[in-house]
Amino acid sequence: MKRRDLLQSLAGAAALGTLGSRAAVLRQARAAEVYGDRKFLFFFASGGWDPTPLDPKFAADGVSPLTGTDMDPGTVLARAGNLTWSGGPDREGMTRFFQRWGGRAALVRGVDVHSAGHESGMSWTMTGTSASSMPDWAAILASRGTVDYPMPHVVFSGPAYPGSFGAAVIRGGGGTLLDLIDADIVGQADAPAPVAPPPMDRMMDAALYGRAGRFATAAGPGTRAEALLGTLDRAMELEGRRFEAVLGDTGSSLLDQASMSIELMRLGMCRSAMIGIPGGWDTHGGNQDVGPQLDSFFTDLDSLLDSLANTPGTLTDWLIDEVVVVCLSELGRTPLFNGSMGRDHWPYTSALVLGSGVRGNQVLGRTDDGFLALPINLGTGAADNNGSLIGAENLGTALLKLGGLDPELYLPGVAPLDGLLA
C-alpha cells in the first residue's frame, strides 16, 4: 500500500468512524487478499421497476398467473437452468440474455428496501441505511480498492451518494470532463478568460502540487491537502491519457455509456461506474411498456457481456472474469394491477447480479403468491422459515465482500448475503 493510499484510507475511515485502528486496517487488507479487487458496473432503474419479470408467478401450466399476482398479458414462464423469468414476444432480448449468460447470473428476489417511497427506497438500496451521509456501495468500493484509480467511480447517469468519499466520484458524459480538468472550460464560459499556454500551465501545476505536498507532510494524515494530492495525481493522469481513453467522445445511450465504462476499466482508470436504465419505470398506469423497456435493456446487457468476454482484463485474461454487473431499482410494484392497468409502489423488489465471483445459475430469496418476502438462510440463499428476509443492506454488504472489503467496517452487525458468493 502506497503512503498516500494508506493516508486516504485512514482519512476516509475517520469520516465513517469505523476504520480508525491499525487492527481494522490490517483486517481490511486481509479481506482484499481473499476476494481481490473486482470492478463493478451498476445499472439502476429509477422509478421502481416491476419485480415480477424476474420473479414470475405462474401456475403449473406456465401461462396462468397465480392467485394474488397479475402477470403481464401475453407472457409465459421461461426457464434456463435454475433461473425463471417471464418471457414473451415483447421481451425476447431478455430470454436471449438468460439463455446465453444465465450460468453467470444470480436472481435475488424479495429484496426489502424498507420503504415504498422513491427517495428513501433509493437511499436504502444504494447505501443500506436511511442516512443521507452514508456513501453508496459503488463509492465505498471505488475508494477502498487496492489500486489507485484516476477516476475511481464514474457516474454517467443514475443515483450517487458520495458521502465522505466525494473525491472518488466523477460525473461522466456531457463532453466537459476533460475541459474541467485541463482548464479549457474557462475559455468557453459566458465571459471567456484566457487559457494559460502549456509551459505556464505546467509550472502552475508543479507549484500547486509542491505546495499541497509540503502542507500534507507537515499536517499529517487525514487532511484535505492529502486528498488534494490524490485529486491532482488523477487529473494529471487523465490529461495525459485523454486520447487513449477517448474521454471526450462519450455517447448518451446506455450501451455507449456501458462501453465507455468497459474501456475505462480495461485501461485501469476506474473501478466502478453507475448507469441509469432508460425508460419510465414508475408505471402507475400502462404497465404494457415494461416489456419493450426490458427487451431494450437486456439486449444491451447481452451486447455488454459479449464485450466483457472479449476485452482483455487487467487481473485476468478477460474482463468478464473480473467485473461484477449489478442491476437494481429503488422499490418494487404491487403484485396486482390497479384500475389503470398499472402497478403502484411496493417495498419488495428483485435484483440481478452477475459476473466475477457470483454464484451463477442461482435464485436467492423468495416471495409468496402475493409478493410478500419470505425468510431465507442468508449464508446459502435457501428457504428457511427460521431465517431472515433479504434487506437491501444484506445485498449491499455482499457486494462489498465481493469487492474485497470487510462489510463489518462499514455496516457493523449486518450479515451479508453470502449465498451470492461463489
Task: Give the domain range for residue 239.
Answer: 179-249
The pLDDT score that the predictor gives to residue 131 is: 86
Q: What does 122-187 look like in DSSP terms, one character per residue? A: HHHHHHSSS-TTSPPHHHHHHHT-SS--SSSEEESSS----GGGGGGEEE--TT-HHHHHHSGGGG
User: Does the residue 207 lie in any domain?
Assistant: yes
150 shares a domain with 96: yes
384 and 398: one domain? yes
Residues 319 and 379 grouped into a single domain: yes
Query: In the block, which residue shows the cell 465522505?
Result: 164
Instruction: CATH number of the domain at 353, please.
Output: 3.40.720
Is the full-model pTM beyond 0.85? no
Dig out the grid coordinates for 229 from the structure.
494530492
- Residue 421 has a pLDDT of 97
Confidence band, pLDDT 50/70/90 cuts, at residue 241: low
Residue of 205, 191, 313 lying closest to 262 (CA atoms): 313
Q: Decide if pLDDT at 57 tops 80.
A: yes
Q: Which of 249, 272, 299 is the last residue of a domain?
A: 249
Long-range contact pairs involving 224-228 (C-beta distance under 8 Å, separation at least 24)? 226/4, 226/7, 226/8, 226/11, 227/8, 227/11, 227/167
Q: Hey, is 399 helix, strand or coil?
A: helix
Q: How many whole angstroms separate alpha carbon 256 and alpha carbon 261? A: 9
- Which of 230-234, 299-303, 371-375 has the lowest average pLDDT? 230-234
* Domain C-terminal end among 221, 249, 277: 249
* Distances, alpha carbon 168 to alpha carbons 75, 131, 172, 180, 213, in Å: 43, 19, 12, 16, 19
Q: Which of 212, 233, 249 lies at the terminal end of a domain, its last residue?
A: 249
The pLDDT of residue 106 is 98
Q: Determine the Cα–Cα distance for residues 113 and 290; give it in Å rounded to an integer.
A: 21
Based on the fold, state whether residues 272 and 352 are members of the same structural domain: yes
Domain total in the chain: 2
Give just the sign of the alpha carbon dihedral 257, 259, 262, 263. Answer: negative
Tell me the pLDDT band of 288, cut-offs 50, 70 and 90: confident
The predicted model gives 282-311 an average pLDDT of 95
Question: Residue 12: inside a domain, yes or no?
Answer: no
Q: Which residues contact 270 (CB under 8 A, 6 or more apart)?
A: 39, 142, 149, 150, 151, 152, 153, 154, 170, 261, 264
